[in-house]
Amino acid sequence: MALNYFETKRARIEIIPMIDIMFFLLVFFIMITLHMIPSTGVASKMPKSSTTTALEPPKVLVNVDDEGDITVDGQKLTAEALTVRLKAQGDPDKVVVTIAGEKTTSLQSMMKVMDACRQAGVTQIGLAAHAVEGAD
């Protein structure tokens, strides 16, 4: 009978808990990064409304400045170019467009953008506005 009291045991590294921790860290950093990326757009002084409601995030955010210039993702576009870009998005029933205009943007400029959206077949069009303080 041999006694193996002094025999050294080989160390085992358990890898499964380490993999679990790495996946947790990966998910954590992805979630944090998604909240750190601001939605692209141009800062504007939007009009106020007492009946604002929260909309789902738009697929396309169109900014119209007080001179009537149309900007999408930092690119200035004409109304015709906006129509072409929206048609390229795919199924127009799934495209959600939000139009953000300045307080001083003319109604005609906003209508020009809405017409361009409608010509592309888009039916889900929203106008961005700030909620009035104290309104529900």
Tens digits of residue pLDDT in 55-111: 666 678 888 888 888 988 888 989 899 999 888 888 878 888 888 888 788 888 888
State the DSSP code for 56. P
Q: Give the angle subtended at the CA of 119 by the CAs of 78 and 42, to the nearest 5°.
A: 40
Radius of gyration of the chain (CA): 27
Note the pLDDT of residue 44.
54
pLDDT, tens only, 7-42: 777 777 788 888 889 999 999 888 887 766 555 444
- Select the more confidently predicted residue: 89 or 130: 89
d(CA 104, CA 35): 31
Is the pTM of the predicted complex or chain greater than 0.85? no
d(CA 31, CA 37): 11
d(CA 38, CA 112): 27
